[in-house]
Structure 1
Amino acid sequence: MATDDSDLHGYVVAGVVPGSGEAVVTRAVEFAARFGTGLVCVIVEPDRVAFTEGIDGTVLSYPLDPDELDGPPAFDDDQEARLRPIAEARGVVLETRALTGEPAHCLGRFAERIGAPMIVVGSREAGLRGSVREFFAGSVALHLSHRQHLPVVVVPLAPVARTDRLPWEHDL
């Protein structure tokens, strides 16, 4: 595992959500293999507030819910164990990071800091939970495509047939 982010220069960045990410990582690994570089999977915890950032990119934060004072954000070990074989199968080095704050902003800044060639994210999650989250926060992919300069690849997570209703139409 890389000891600091300078070891990640040129890696592809994949934004993943807790408990999932296989489809996004599979595509991101393909890009990393073609570019001859590694992949860093990033989880961003929006339920924490960053209060300072060091010159090395280290962010100090606290949770919005005081009952969740359980230390700094961390990438889930079980999720990493599910994702690592996907990268290893293509000979791609996989690193993980857990960040705090607004997801699109954090992914964009992190990717820029490490000189990533691109950011890979998944399409919106279907259902009421995904719709409510996007109503208040907006699509991470949409924010990334308008608020930073790196290419953004959006992996379709649940494509629908041309004749079917789009996920957000179910919630209206």
Structure 2
Amino acid sequence: MTEPGKQPSPASGRTPYVPRKISGPVLMGVVPGQPLAVAHRAAELAYSLGVKLVCAYVDVTTYLAEEPDGRVEARPIDPDGIDDDIEGISATIAAELRAALDGTGVDWSFVTLAGDPARALGRLAESADASVIVVGTRERGLGARLEELLVGSVAVHLTHRQHRPVLVVPLAPHRPQPKAGH
């Protein structure tokens, strides 16, 4: 057994832990209408670590399909129900991020992904060698609770499907109501 604060010796057969400098980007999942608090926390983390911030919006109305020539292409889940405004949604999110992040000294970029949010963010985190994934909680309310029960939380799915740390930024935390007569 090793004394606290002391590295095991190479003779013990274990390789001593050597921390490495974090160099991969901070990956932030973005959803339409998300409060800027998530972007602010992700930007602060990226700035503090001296790494890039990659902001990713996942279009859940599309999926990835591999073409015969090996290319991977995003296709609509329902070709008849195509949301013609998906490019508009991405452009709006990018404009909001630009207004919030330009001039902050944070090197950042924006990408649109396709498919299941947890899987898409996990794939991007792997390919970019992200240091951490940042997501926000859902807004409070019955609809959000029901959706989370039915499809689950992106943050929970991320923690179970990949090995990077996930930072969850709380949004609109529950505040206990004052008791009557106090």
Give the match for residue 82 of structure 1: 96
After superposition, what is the alpha-carbon deviation per residue over 1:103-150, rounded to whole angstroms, capped at 9, x for unaligned? 111111111110110000001222233223212210001111111100
1:14 aligns with 2:28: yes
Give the match for residue 109 of structure 2: 95
Q: Given that residues 62 and 74 in structure 2 are in contact (C-alpha distance below 8 angstroms), is that contact kept between their aligned partners in structure 1? A: no
Deviation at 1:35, TM superposition (A): 1.2
Give the match for residue 4 of structure 1: none
Give the match for residue 20 of structure 2: none
Distance in 1 between residues matched to 2:98 and 2:26, nearest whole Å: 15
Give the match for residue 6 of structure 2: none
Sequence identity (%): 40
After superposition, residues 46-85 of structure 1 pair within 5 angstroms as: 46-52=60-66, 58-64=72-78, 66-68=80-82, 70=84, 76-85=90-99
Distance in 1 between residues matched to 2:85 and 2:65, nearest whole Å: 15
Q: Which residue identity does 2:97 align to in structure 1?
A: L
SS at match of 2:159: helix
139, 149, 159: which one pairs with 1:145? 159
Query: Structure 2: 5+ residue runs without aligned partners?
Result: 1-22, 178-182
SS at match of 1:76: helix
TM-score calculated relative to the size of structure 2: 0.73
Q: Which residue identity does 1:112 align to in structure 2?
A: E
TM-score calculated relative to the size of structure 1: 0.77
Give the match for residue 44 of structure 2: 30
Q: Given that residues 20 and 79 in structure 1 are in contact (C-alpha distance below 8 angstroms), is that contact kept between their aligned partners in structure 2? A: no
Q: Given that residues 66 and 73 in structure 2 are in contact (C-alpha distance below 8 angstroms), is that contact kept between their aligned partners in structure 1? A: yes
Distance in 1 between residues matched to 2:160 and 2:103, nearest whole Å: 33
Deviation at 1:20, TM superposition (A): 2.2
136, 149, 153: which one pairs with 1:135? 149
Give the match for residue 119 of structure 1: 133
Distance in 1 between residues matched to 2:89 and 2:52, nearest whole Å: 17
Query: Structure 1: 5+ residue runs without aligned partners?
Result: 1-8, 165-172
Alignment RMSD: 2.6
Tell me the matched-pair count. 154
Distance in 1 between residues matched to 2:170 and 2:85, nearest whole Å: 33
